[in-house]
A and B are shown apart, each in its own frame.
Chain A
Amino acid sequence: MHERTVERPVKIVVDFDLCESNAVCMGIAPEVFEVRDDDFLYILDENPGPELHDRVREAVERCPKQAITLED
């Protein structure tokens, strides 16, 4: 796989005012995001390891509400 840069730790921040629990993020990175039967999103791992960064980044982009951000 193509390594872009040295992976720095990231912190996942969800704006729960924007989040509408479409669960797209869960489909992409179920280790990190879970929408439960109460229809709320739960973050299972706020600081996912480097092996998850590509998928977390995809979840950020595919979120239809743009509710997820990554902080360094």
Chain B
Amino acid sequence: MIVFAKPSSGVPSRPSRSKTEQAAPLTATDSLAHIVIVGASLAGMQAAQMLRRGGYDRSLTIIGDEPHYPYDRPPLSKQYLAGSWDESKLRLRAAVDPDELGIDWRIGVPARALELSGSSVMMADGTSIPYDGLIIATGASARRLPGPDLEGVYVVRSLDDARALRDAFDAEPKRVAVIGAGFIGAEVAATARERGLEVTMIEAAKSPLGRVLDTAAGLAIADLHRSHGVDVRLGVGVHSLVSGEGAGAHTVAGVALADGTVVEADVVVVGIGVTPNTGWLEGSGLTIDDGVVCDETCLAAPGVVAAGDVARWPNVRFGEQLTRVEQWDNAVDQGAYVARRLLAEDEVAPFAPVPWFWSDQYDRKIQLAGMPTSSAEVVHGSMAEQRFVQIYGRPDRDELVGALAWNRPRQAVQARQLIEQRATMAEARETLGG
């Protein structure tokens, strides 16, 4: 593990909700005349907001590769794709008035390289932007299937992606095939069904959401989708995409599965995860390994911090292991944290949050706090009634480290606090059960 500056203390003993109170006052030092944020999405925007709120009044630049002011991504697979929200509702609130925070916006041009020794960011248009402090928040990109690009194949990551898929849904396709039953795939499948489209969801693993949910909870997701009319195929991989005949040779016509069957579909949505956007950092001298590798205070190099989907750091709450969190709430939290980290110079406690995310599918609200483990038990409700709380214990000692809540938002919040307080499993049963 790399460590540049040892934080002064260990794991924060107080819940993270009091972080704003315990944060050191931000002081804009003379050594930080210009802060550059690469990445104009949630984490970067939150960092900018926190810098300004903390009194940083020097020069602040935000670089973003997309030609849009910062917008919120979760609605892209839900309200926006459903057609119930228009684009004006997506803009992040802090960016509704782009002039409000005194930001020098450089959007629509990607950063191409980082010159660490010269402290500057090289832009794709040939210009370079020098910095005194750098926040890396370039996020991640949707993975695509290998092979030639075919018309009718979509991913959902950016506004432009979602716009294209929404147009495709508007054209009332005969069948939508969703490859991958992760959160994006499952949400797109739900939205497509709610729009009255025929949907087949294909997942190579034995159960949906296998990266975060155990098999039983994952199968409950499969049941939920089946009960809404989705043709769910589990445990079968994708062999290849099938294109049409003749004039349709560049257009998708279906998905060939590893078991030899073909799912005919005129729209295919690929939801097979993301890869962190670190290509521009190759050769920069930063450690890149499935993200920008940071110390426990999110520092990647002196004066350089990383936040959001691109950052990989050891969350000391759960051990030494490097983690990268692809979650909305983490982007907000970590964006704010790195702003403080950059300005405070030292005496900063490690970034050790309890992760939390939600997913809305049909009328279900699924929330996961902390880390799922194989030591799982349902303590409230039941999977059959699709209203339940499942808790996860740490394998090596009696401690609550995670909880899954279905349509139980109150318990999700309580669970998150219990995890922060390092409650025992018995305490968790007592509070969340019943």
**Distance to closest chain B CB from A16 (angstroms):** 15
Q: Does B14 contact A (CB under 8 A)?
A: no
Hey, what's the 0/1 contact readout for A55-69 against B, CB within 8 Å counting as 1?
101100110101000
Residues of B within 8 A of A64 (CB): 74, 328-329, 358
SS class of chain B's interface: helix, strand, loop or mixed? helix
Name the one of B53, B93, B358 contacting A22, with C-beta atoms under 8 angstroms.
B358
**Distance to closest chain B CB from A10 (angstroms):** 15
Known: A61-B46, A64-B74, A66-B72. A26 touches B410 (CB 8 A): yes
Q: Is the CB of A61 within 8 A of B332?
A: yes
Q: Does A8 contact B (CB under 8 A)?
A: no
Residues of B within 8 A of A55 (CB): 17, 20
**Distance to closest chain A CB from B107 (angstroms):** 20
Q: Is the CB of A54 within 8 A of B21?
A: yes
Q: Does A45 contact B (CB under 8 A)?
A: no
Q: Is the CB of A26 within 8 A of B332?
A: no
Residues of A within 8 A of B72 (CB): 66
Q: Is the CB of B21 within 8 A of A1?
A: yes
Q: Does B266 contact A (CB under 8 A)?
A: no
CB closest residue in chain A, given B93: A66
Interface size class on chain A is 20 to 34
Residues of A within 8 A of B46 (CB): 61
Q: Does A9 contact B (CB under 8 A)?
A: no
**Distance to closest chain B CB from A9 (angstroms):** 19
How many B residues face the partner with a CB closer than 8 A?
Answer: 29
CA distance A58 to B328 in the complex (A): 15
Q: Is the CB of A28 within 8 A of B17?
A: yes
CB closest residue in chain B, given A37: B410
Q: Is the CB of B329 within 8 A of A24?
A: yes
Q: Is the CB of A62 within 8 A of B416?
A: no
Q: Does B237 contact A (CB under 8 A)?
A: no
Q: Does B176 contact A (CB under 8 A)?
A: no
CA distance A37 to B49 in the complex (A): 34
CA distance A24 to B17 in the complex (A): 10
Known: A2-B25, A22-B365, A62-B332. A35 touches B20 (CB 8 A): no
Q: Does B399 contact A (CB under 8 A)?
A: no
Contact residues, B312-363 vs A (CB, 8 A): 328-329, 332-333, 336, 356, 358, 360
CA distance A42 to B365 in the complex (A): 18
Between B21, B49, B92, B413, the greatest number of chain A beta carbons within 10 A of the residue's beta carbon is seen for: B413
**Distance to closest chain A CB from B355 (angstroms):** 13
Q: Is the CB of A26 within 8 A of B21?
A: no
CA distance A37 to B405 in the complex (A): 13
Residues of B within 8 A of A28 (CB): 17
**Distance to closest chain B CB from A31 (angstroms):** 12
Q: Is the CB of B413 within 8 A of A27?
A: yes
Hey, what's the 0/1 contact readout for B1-42 against A, CB within 8 Å counting as 1?
000000000000000010011000100000000000000000
Residues of B within 8 A of A1 (CB): 21
Q: Is the CB of A62 within 8 A of B409?
A: no
Q: Does B407 contact A (CB under 8 A)?
A: yes
CB closest residue in chain A, given B356: A24
Q: Is the CB of A27 within 8 A of B25?
A: no
CB closest residue in chain B, given A27: B413
Q: Does B367 contact A (CB under 8 A)?
A: yes
Residues of A within 8 A of B49 (CB): 61
Q: Is the CB of B413 within 8 A of A35?
A: yes
Name the one of A2, A35, A58, A61 contacting B409, with C-beta atoms under 8 angstroms.
A35
Q: Does B412 contact A (CB under 8 A)?
A: yes
Q: Is the CB of B410 within 8 A of A35?
A: yes
Q: Does A39 contact B (CB under 8 A)?
A: yes
Q: Is the CB of B417 within 8 A of A20?
A: no
CA distance A23 to B17 in the complex (A): 13
CB closest residue in chain B, given A69: B93
Hey, what's the 0/1 contact readout for A30-64 against B, CB within 8 Å counting as 1?
00000111010000000000000011011001101
Hey, what's the 0/1 contact readout for A2-19 against B, CB within 8 Å counting as 1?
101000000000000000
Residues of B within 8 A of A57 (CB): 20
Residues of B within 8 A of A54 (CB): 20-21
CA distance A58 to B53 in the complex (A): 12
In the assembled complex, 26 residue pairs joining A and B whose CB atoms fall closer than 8 Å, in A order, are A1-B21, A2-B25, A20-B365, A21-B365, A22-B409, A23-B412, A23-B413, A24-B413, A26-B410, A27-B17, A27-B413, A27-B416, A28-B17, A35-B409, A35-B413, A36-B410, A39-B409, A54-B20, A54-B21, A55-B17, A61-B49, A61-B336, A64-B358, A66-B72, A66-B92, A66-B93
A-B complex: 10 closest residue pairs judged by Cβ atoms: A2-B25, A23-B409, A27-B413, A23-B413, A28-B17, A21-B409, A35-B410, A54-B20, A66-B93, A35-B409
